[in-house]
Structure 1
Amino acid sequence: MLLFFILGLLVHFVFFGSIFDIYFTSPLVHGMTPQLTPLPPPAKRLVLFVADGLRADTLYELDENGNTRAPFIRNIIMHEGSWGISHTRVPTESRPGHVALIAGFYEDVSAVAKGWKENPVGFDSLINESRYTWSWGSPDILTMFAKGASGDHVYAYSYDADNEDFGAQDVTKLDTWVFDNMKEFFHAARNNQSLFSKLNEEKIVFFLHLLGIDTNGHAHRPTSREYKDNIKVVDEGMKEIVSMLEDFYGNDGKTAFIFTSDHGMTDWGFHGAGHPSETLTPFVTWGAGIKYPQRVSAQKFDDADIAPLMASLIGVPFPLNSVGILPVDYLNNTDLFKAESMFTNAVQILEQFKKNIIEMRKYFKPNLFFCRLLSESKQLNILRKARSYIKQRKYDEAVSLCKELIQLALKGLSYYHTYDRFFLGINVVLGFVGWTSYASLLIIRSHSSFTRGVSKEVKKPSHLLSCSFIAVGVLVAFFLLIQDCPWTYYIYCLLPVPIWYAVLREFQVIQDFVISLLTFPPSQLAGYLFIFTLGIEVLVLSFFYRYMLTAGLIAFACWPFITQLWIRAKSISLSWIFFSLLLAVFPLMPVVGRKPDIFLVIGAGSLVLLLSLCVLTSLIKRKDRFINEELLLHLFQMLSIALSMYVVYSTHHSLLKKQGLPFLNQIISWIILASSFVLPLLSPTSLFERLFSILLSWMSAYLLLSTGYEALFPLVLSCLMFVWIQMEQETLQQSGVSYRQKVTSLQFTCNLDITQFRHLYLDDIRRAFFLVFFLVTAFFGTGNIASVNSFDLASVYCFLTVFSPYMMGALMMWKILIPFVLVMCAFEAVQLTTQLSSKSHVFILQHFFFLVKDYGSWLEIGTSISHYVIVMSMTIVLMLLNGLAHLLTTKKLELYGKSKSHLI
């Protein structure tokens, strides 16, 4: 059994890891020849302003008084330059957004997880191709471009990361720091001949990363006065910088300016997904080589297109990995220059396509599809024809033909980048289905009465079966070897072989199970199958539509009437109905966009304190079992709840006054979080007292991570879990199983294994389904973690306000896990009351989670891929949570030097 769990964990990790080889692979190829437009560029230098987190509509629209928020930029739009709207891609985060802007390609999502400040893969960029680049701004952004550059020509000046404080009194200082330091830099350059000489060379870039707007958006939301006032600060700062540069360079007319954003922001102050407020960003450009005032069509204008535009303006090679298409409509230059630049753009992208073909492993004949569609002869013909058009001065025709070649090359890049997906996906699905089948057969053979006539000993498989699977494995390995595949491919392709071998060796169990099913009346079997299928469909749909959880909980409320528990235990049934319907409200509440409501958090804490007083009164009456240590522990946990309420209230008001996070509040928050792991282990291991102690300790931590109605969620969920435990005992008694011990007298034990008492019943499958449903409800009940922009950074402000992605992410993930642990601890009690070992139930749970899968479109991050990751993560985490719940419910720490004990 232990070996099976270890193998199961490894199989799950393999399935989980396959997502990174199949869908999260780098699109980059290396070794291409740099491509440069063979004509003099219009600009000697480029200034790139990136206002992090700026929405297009907020910049362009007028305020309530009909005035512009950015008079300088408005003046540029009206009199000096061109403007439009650029479209960013998911994930709308700072790192991939800046990579698209400056390097011209869309970084795979895994790069964000591999390194926030480092480069998991090397890539070329405009900054790398420049002669010199000076940049000012956040260390998170500047570092990756400075490190990725070759030579010693990139200079980055950044403030300390501690300045990125969401609770600071004035975060516009992040932008004024950039403007002030750039002005000081140019002032110093007048007295530094070496620096002065560098600044007057060609092909130089000035990059200003402005983080204040993004920080104000997270802290106060984009509709706030702080966010909109920050736009005015940026506008005024840009005006001063432009004036300073014109004065420094003597108005030589050789400076090009670009102002844009890496991503937008939702009304609720977040970004990362594909909402229009996140993907539509402003784009304003003026100066050398830029057309005079006009709005340029933005229907096909992506943020990656800015990289080739900047390279064309200052005459540097297009970034080698750029997939951007030069927006020639912005250029104020000769038609010859536009045609030559577009020709260079086409050759640069075609170079990547050709390199892909060289490096592509020749799997099957379909690999030749794009070789025929864009063969070498066709490439040469298009290029020759485009060059001929340029010589004949048919510039529009040349530009059009180059765009056609670019589109074909981009389709080819996508084709070869995703070529392995179908092949690998088939193998993963085979392993996926095989493992599900094997786990199911193991449950049937070991924990059911369907196979009583079959020997429980595993029969030795036939020699022919073993040889057949060995031969299949050898053939698969040989095929992968001649294709020179990565070592991970061997795992994905060979893993299904032993899994299906294990399935087929259980043929006798399959046969016996089918015969047993045929003994059921057809109508009864059809009814079970219908209910089972309906339940699975509700689980699947809940991943897309949260209100399906509401429908499921309403159906759960009807359970006592269907099973006649209403007649046997009316008071418990009423409680089940009430809390099921109450919990059903949460999936109908808004996931994102809600405003913080601290009074709801305080109200949730007050309800917990009230419930604690009732429990305390009940415990005091039982003086024969209640001792001083238990009383002190209970009072200390109540004090933790009260402190959490105070910290939430105090922190909220301090941040509203822009006084930052009080240090005392921060210390108290971390102490409460740390103590929540230890305090439950000091409580008695009697079922009710231990579960209530876990609720109090973890509820105090959850309150600190709450901003609104979600603070009530663990309380309602826990109440339903307490009722569920009692309902299951009543159900077991109703089914005729002799078990008369009351729930209140049950003790959690460490080494209890009562599998010998009974086999699995159909009710046990229903219990496993209940658990899966409650876990999914805990997952999506107050949010949708499949969409990254449903997270609210304000939920961690009691712990820290200085930007720290990993620490903030860890705290938010812990907030998500708390309801999980509460459910798993309750299920430990259900297993105890129903006389069933956890081993068989975990098998059933794995089976359910394998059924909740999605093989739809993998194109939109935040939907299908995240659902696959969620399901695979939950199967892995489920095993870990089962162990954590077992630890929390059965272990006991003794104070005053007493020895550890598992029982009271």
Structure 2
Amino acid sequence: MLIFIIAGLLVHCVFLASIFDIYFTSPLVHGMTPQRTPLPPPAKRLVLFIADGLRADTLYELDDNGTPQAPYLRNIIEYKGSWGVSHTHVPTESRPGHVALIAGFYEDVSAVAKGWKENPVEFDSVFNESKYTWSWGSPDILPMFAKGASGDHVYTYCYTAEKEDFGAQDATKLDTWVFDHVKNFFRAARSNQTLFSKVNEEKVVLFLHLLGIDTNGHAHRPNSREYKDNIRKVDEGINDIVSMLEDFYGNDGKTAFILTSDHGMTDWGSHGAGHPSETLTPLIAWGAGVNYPQKVTFQFFEDEFLKGITFLFAQADIAPLMASLIGVPFPLNSVGILPLDYLNNSAHFKAESMFTNAVQILEQFKIKMTQKKETTLSFLFTPFQLLSDTEQINILRKARSYIHQEKYHEAVSLCKTLISLALEGLSYYHTYDRLFLGISVVMGFVGWTSYVILLIVKTHTSLTRSTHDKASTVLLLYGFGAIGVLIAFFLLIQTCPWTYYIYCLLPVPVWYAVVKEFRVIQDLASLLLVFPLGQSIGFLVAGALGIEILVFSFFYRSTLTVGLIAFAGWPLITRLWAQAKVTTLSWTLLCLLLAMFPLMPVVGREPNISLMLSIALSTYVVNSTHSSLQHKQGLPVINQIISWTTLASSLFVPLLSPTFFFQRLLSILLSLMSPYLLLSTGYEALFPLVLSGLMFSWIYMEKEALQHYGDSLKPKLAVLNFSYTTDITQFRQLHLDDIRRSFFFVFFIVTAFFGTGNIASVNSFDPASIYCFLTVFNPFIMGSLLVWKIVIPFVLVSCAFEAVQVTTQLSSKSLFLIVLVISDLMALHFFFLVKDYGSWLDIGTSISHYVLVMVFTIFIMLLSGLAQLLTTKRIELWGRTKRHSM
């Protein structure tokens, strides 16, 4: 069994890692030649304001009195500059948003997951290409652009992380800190000749990262007075900075200004998913080289978000715009397309800039094509047909000719065509090996699942007792070994990455293990042939329907409601209703009650007085904390101490109670309810209670279901004790009903996750849920608390199933194998649904679904270990005499 577990873990780790090699490899290539517009730029310096978490509609709309939220910026929009809306990409979080804005490309998901402060891969940016860049703001954002810069010309000034406090009295201090330090910097520059000469150089960038709006949005919601007051503070601060800079530079007209945001925010104060309130951000530009206002209406914000808007740009387009304004090379890995409507310059300048943009993206295409050509056999290499070498040369020559002939409009149009083809070609070569690798992984998936099914039939049923033919086994071994050598040689001559060897060679030993059991396959096939056709079809349809319900529940939580309603009727179509009417009634009612939760919005015999008091104390702490934060008095220290103490003791306290079935299960429930309450903000606080009630009923129902196998197996729950180890000789062979039990377990685990939330709610959770523990921004501690809140219902289900397992004398090994088959069938389904395009909601959801199911088996093993610890172990304090059951 140990060898099987190790092999299973390795196989699933390979399957899990495969999607990141197939779907989410870094888009970056290196070795390109920098490209810059040959004509003089309109601006000597650029000032970039990024108002973190600022929604487009909130900035542009008027209040009830017809007054703008940001009067100074409104004046810019109407009389001085250009405006529009930037559409963010994957994901709507701070790091990838800033990378898209300043470097012009969208980080792949795997890179985003590797760190927020460090750069998983080095990338070029507008800051790196500048002569000097000075930046002020958050320590989570600024350092990553300084660390990736060549030389010593990107300077950062950061406040401490402790200032990012959601419970602070005034989060606008984060923005006033930035404005004050910028003013002090330029005051110092007047008396420091070295600094004065640097800030007067060309190609200078000033970056002001303003985090207050995002912090207030998380703490008070975007429709709050605090959020909108922060926008006015930012508006006033920008006005002061612009006036100060114009005075410092003597109104030379060589400063360009850009205001935008990295992402928006939902009405409930979160971001990360794909709602328009998160993906649509404002874009305002004015100053040197920027076009003047155009006559447009602001009324499109009154209906659906930006319905019919024509001024919509991709977030990555802002990087080439900034580069063009100050005359620095476009970032090497930028995929942004220069928005010409923002430029106030000659047609010649616009055409040259677009030509530079096209050549810069084409450089990436050529490098990508060369790399793929070098690692593919010539007779197998299929080039991107729409952009051959000849076609590239012809388009570039024609565009250059148009510019010489002053046919600037035709040149711009041709360059846009070339950019479109180059971006399509980049995607083609980036996904060149996807089909090949996908087939290899699917072959491994199908082989592994087939082997597990054969293992269940062979070792846990009485259907077959076939033995191996040694001669045939040796012959198969040599045959599959030869196939493996041929595959390895094929990969070697193509100089494929080492990971390709794993994905392509894994199916060889897996299918060898399947084919080696050909006698079991024969016996199983013979049995199925004599099995009644109607029952066979019914069983297959029921199994497929059950898997599809589980899969659909990942997308539509209401599917769980349908499943729970079906569960409620389960005893009515069996003999259980006649056996135990009271138990069946409680099961039915609790199934229907639990079925209500997925329809809601996302967001013992001995009384245990101490645990009940703990729940009451937790309820008080939640109310007290949120009341204190509402009055802007911060997080009370005593509340914080109580919260962390309750959390730390939640897994320790149940071990003090007796190990009798319901006494221990009740202690686990009451103990885990306390931290769950501290992490709850709404109706989800009731979810563990209803779920636990159903789990108690499930234990009783399974006890009643045992009569199908004889009363000798029917235990008395009153005397069952978790601490007694079940004799392995009492384990029975599997029955069809055990598949139903395993399915129930998987369904309840899925319900524990999706009952009150979904993938998007995990990605963009409500920060208010962790306010009892901390209010200072710390993504890792916050994420850990969120994970623990999610795990608590899982633990309750696992502990209940531990009881079901003991009462039914079901081998944990056989259970694990059935669950493994169910989860692998789901994982194979989700493998085909993984996306690397669309909104972060689409991409993140597809990744999360696959990863969640792939780690399911590992998670089940860990949960099983934790459940055994919580149910079977007991800690004796102060020499208390241990009681044993009779």
TM-score tier after normalising by the smaller chain length:
over 0.9
1:896 aligns with 2:878: yes
1:292 aligns with 2:292: yes
1:429 corresponds in structure 2 to: 442
1:382 aligns with 2:401: no
* Pairwise CA distance, 1:241: 0.4
CA distance in structure 2 between the aligned counterparts of 1:821 and 1:58, rounded to whole angstroms = 42
Question: Structure 1 residues 140, 343: closer, same or farther in 2, change over 3 A?
Answer: same
Contact 1:203 1:315 in 2 (8 A): yes
1:739 counterpart (713, 737, 754) = 713
Find the residue that maps to 1:48 and give its secondary structure.
strand
Contact 1:34 1:317 in 2 (8 A): yes
Which blocks of at least 5 consecutive residues in structure 1 are unaligned?
593-614, 621-633
Find the residue that maps to 1:892 and give its secondary structure.
coil
* Pairwise CA distance, 1:85: 0.7
Residues 134-179 of structure 1: CA distance to partner in whole angstroms, max 9, x if unpaired? 1011010101011111111111111100100111111011111111
1:538 corresponds in structure 2 to: 549
CA distance in structure 2 between the aligned counterparts of 1:407 and 1:900, rounded to whole angstroms = 76
2:170 corresponds in structure 1 to: 170
1:644 corresponds in structure 2 to: 618
CA distance in structure 2 between the aligned counterparts of 1:461 and 1:98, rounded to whole angstroms = 61
Q: CA RMSD in A?
A: 1.8
1:186 corresponds in structure 2 to: 186
CA distance in structure 1 between the aligned counterparts of 2:288 and 2:380, rounded to whole angstroms = 45
1:585 aligns with 2:567: no
CA distance in structure 2 between the aligned counterparts of 1:456 and 1:670, rounded to whole angstroms = 57
CA distance in structure 2 between the aligned counterparts of 1:823 and 1:461, rounded to whole angstroms = 45
* Pairwise CA distance, 1:897: 6.0
CA distance in structure 1 between the aligned counterparts of 2:781 and 2:677, rounded to whole angstroms = 18
1:870 counterpart (835, 852, 860) = 852
Find the residue that maps to 2:252 and give its secondary structure.
coil
1:501 aligns with 2:512: yes
Contact 1:755 1:836 in 2 (8 A): no
* Pairwise CA distance, 1:519: 2.9
Find the residue that maps to 2:285 and give its secondary structure.
strand
CA distance in structure 1 between the aligned counterparts of 2:885 and 2:30, rounded to whole angstroms = 63
1:556 aligns with 2:567: yes
Contact 1:654 1:660 in 2 (8 A): yes
2:820 counterpart (820, 843, 846) = 846
Contact 1:748 1:903 in 2 (8 A): no
1:670 corresponds in structure 2 to: 644
1:772 aligns with 2:746: yes
* Pairwise CA distance, 1:899: 11
2:324 counterpart (280, 288, 312) = 312
* Pairwise CA distance, 1:753: 4.5
CA distance in structure 1 between the aligned counterparts of 2:806 and 2:646, rounded to whole angstroms = 30
Contact 1:86 1:298 in 2 (8 A): no
Which blocks of at least 5 consecutive residues in structure 2 are unaligned?
297-308
CA distance in structure 2 between the aligned counterparts of 1:416 and 1:260, rounded to whole angstroms = 32
Letter in 2 for 1:106: Y
After TM superposition, the score normalised by the length of structure 1 is 0.93
Letter in 2 for 1:793: P
2:158 corresponds in structure 1 to: 158
* Pairwise CA distance, 1:225: 1.2
Contact 2:90 2:106 in 1 (8 A): no
Find the residue that maps to 1:508 and give its secondary structure.
helix
Find the residue that maps to 1:272 and give its secondary structure.
coil
Question: Structure 1 residues 725, 336: closer, same or farther in 2, change over 3 A?
Answer: same
Residues 279-315 of structure 1: CA distance to partner in whole angstroms, max 9, x if unpaired? 1111000000011112697566201000001000001
2:580 corresponds in structure 1 to: 569
CA distance in structure 1 between the aligned counterparts of 2:311 and 2:446, rounded to whole angstroms = 43
2:483 corresponds in structure 1 to: 472
Residues 546-580 of structure 1: CA distance to partner in whole angstroms, max 9, x if unpaired? 11100000000001111121111011011101110
* Pairwise CA distance, 1:545: 1.0
1:602 corresponds in structure 2 to: none
Question: Structure 1 residues 200, 649: closer, same or farther in 2, change over 3 A?
Answer: same
* Pairwise CA distance, 1:462: 2.9
Letter in 2 for 1:511: Q
CA distance in structure 2 between the aligned counterparts of 1:753 and 1:412, rounded to whole angstroms = 64
Contact 1:25 1:110 in 2 (8 A): yes
Question: Structure 1 residues 110, 896: closer, same or farther in 2, change over 3 A?
Answer: same
1:54 corresponds in structure 2 to: 54
How many corresponding residue pairs? 865
2:24 corresponds in structure 1 to: 24
Farther-moved stretch of structure 1 (381-390 vs 888-897): 888-897
Letter in 2 for 1:17: A
CA distance in structure 2 between the aligned counterparts of 1:750 and 1:843, rounded to whole angstroms = 24
* Pairwise CA distance, 1:864: 2.5
* Pairwise CA distance, 1:865: 2.5
Find the residue that maps to 1:835 and give its secondary structure.
coil
* Pairwise CA distance, 1:211: 0.5
1:856 counterpart (819, 833, 841) = 833
CA distance in structure 2 between the aligned counterparts of 1:54 and 1:902, rounded to whole angstroms = 63
The residue correspondences of 1:368-767 to structure 2 (distance < 5 A) are 368-451=381-464, 454-455=465-466, 461-592=472-603, 615=604, 618-619=605-606, 634-749=608-723, 751-754=725-728, 756-767=730-741
Question: Structure 1 residues 366, 144: closer, same or farther in 2, change over 3 A?
Answer: farther
Question: Structure 1 residues 365, 639: closer, same or farther in 2, change over 3 A?
Answer: farther
Question: Structure 1 residues 130, 755: closer, same or farther in 2, change over 3 A?
Answer: farther
Contact 2:730 2:809 in 1 (8 A): no
1:812 corresponds in structure 2 to: 786
Residues 42-89 of structure 1: CA distance to partner in whole angstroms, max 9, x if unpaired? 000000000111111111111111110100000000100011111111
Find the residue that maps to 2:206 and give its secondary structure.
strand
Farther-moved stretch of structure 1 (511-520 vs 734-743): 734-743
2:300 corresponds in structure 1 to: none
2:313 counterpart (298, 301, 307) = 301
CA distance in structure 1 between the aligned counterparts of 2:279 and 2:767, rounded to whole angstroms = 20
Residues 350-394 of structure 1: CA distance to partner in whole angstroms, max 9, x if unpaired? 111111122225436697544432122211111111110000000
Find the residue that maps to 2:141 and give its secondary structure.
helix
* Pairwise CA distance, 1:434: 1.1
Letter in 2 for 1:309: L
* Pairwise CA distance, 1:635: 2.9
After TM superposition, the score normalised by the length of structure 2 is 0.95
Question: Structure 1 residues 753, 57: closer, same or farther in 2, change over 3 A?
Answer: farther
* Pairwise CA distance, 1:735: 3.7
2:366 corresponds in structure 1 to: 354
Letter in 2 for 1:180: D
1:626 corresponds in structure 2 to: none
Letter in 2 for 1:4: F
Find the residue that maps to 2:352 and give its secondary structure.
helix
Residues 792-827 of structure 1: CA distance to partner in whole angstroms, max 9, x if unpaired? 221111111111111111110111111111111111
